[in-house]
Structure 1
Amino acid sequence: MNYGVVSQEQLEQIDKILNEKLIRIGVDCVIIIDMAGNIITAKENGKTKYDVYSFAALAAGNFATVDAMAKLVGETEFSLLFHKGTECNIHFSKIDDELLLITMFGKTISLGYLRLNVVEAIEEIRKLWANG
């Protein structure tokens, strides 16, 4: 997948997928970044005040650290990460080797329901890129 040449139409379709699959169910913020921490797109519910640029850079570093730990224990990767807080939870999931989907959500959404929607969103994004 070559996301470096994402068309405006593809970005709009990705934003639509993120809105329908994640923001609509109550997710606070969702960001797609590359592994260097560059933001490809970000959507939020209109109520958050997250600094997505700082968050993206830190998230890329966090994922790289966990990836290195996976290799230390003999895994090729940990393709999913989850951090649970009292008010905010963060879910990381790889779209492919180059892209990471980060979802921030509150305690009103169950992790299982979120993961189901994340998997569906990622599948739709992969199909979009495969056909684009």
Structure 2
Amino acid sequence: MNYGIVSQEQLEQIDTILASKLIKLGVDCVIIIDMAGNIITAKDNGESKYDVYSFAALAAGNFATVDAMAKLVGEAEFSLLFHKGQESNIHFSKIDDELLLISMFGKDISLGFLRLNVVEAIEQIRKVWEGGNG
């Protein structure tokens, strides 16, 4: 997937997917970043107070660190990461080798339900990217 030449129409379609699959579900904020921490797009519920730029940079570093740990234990990768807090949770999922989808959500959403919606959203996002670049 070459996200470097994403059209405005593709970004709007991806934002619609993020809004319908994740924000509507109750996710506070969802970000798609590249592995360097650059934001491709971000959506929130209108109430989130996250500094998405700092978050994206730290998330990329976190994912890279865990990727290195996976290799130390003989895994090719850990394609999913989850951090659970008392009030807030963070879910990372790879879209492809270049992109991560990061969801920040509260305790009212079950991890299983979120993961199901993330998988569906990623499938739809891949189709949008392939439609414009394939």
Write the deviation string for residues 36-64 of structure 1: whole angstroms up to 9, x where unpaired.
00000000001111000000000000000
- Paired residue for 2:28? 28
CA RMSD, Structure 1 to Structure 2 (Å): 0.3
Q: Which residue of 2 aligns with 1:69?
A: 69
Query: What SS does the corresponding residue of 1:25 show, helix, strand or coil?
Result: coil
Query: Matches of 1:83 and 1:59 in 2, distance apart?
Result: 11
- Aligned mates of 1:129, 1:102 — CA distance in 2: 18
- Give the distance between the partners of 1:92 and 1:84, measured in 2 at CA: 12
CA–CA separation in structure 2 for the residues paired with 1:38 and 1:131: 23
The residue type paired with residue 123 of structure 1 is E
- Supply the distance in 2 between the matched residues of 1:128 and 1:50 (Cα, whole angstroms): 27
Deviation of 1:130 (Å)? 1.2
Q: Specify every segment of 5 or more residues in structure 1 that has no aligned partner in the other structure, as ranges.
A: none
* AA in 1 matched with 2:54: S
* Amino acid across the alignment from 1:119: V
Q: Which runs of 5+ in 2 are unaligned?
A: none
Partner Cα distance (2:21, 2:89) in 1: 17
Matched ranges for 1:39-118 at <5 A: 39-118=39-118
Question: Residue 131 of structure 1: CA displacement?
Answer: 1.4
Aligned to 1:37: 37
Amino acid across the alignment from 2:27: V
What TM-score, normalized to structure 2?
0.98
Secondary structure (helix, strand or coil) at the match of 1:57 reads helix
What CA distance in whole angstroms lies between the structure 1 residues aligned with 2:48 and 2:11?
22
Q: What's the counterpart of residue 124 of structure 1?
A: 124
Q: Which residue identity lines up with residue 68 of structure 2 in the other structure?
A: A
Once the two structures are TM-superposed, the CA of residue 129 in structure 1 deviates from its matched residue by 1.0
CA–CA separation in structure 1 for the residues paired with 2:10 and 2:87:
33
Percent identity, aligned pairs only, is: 86
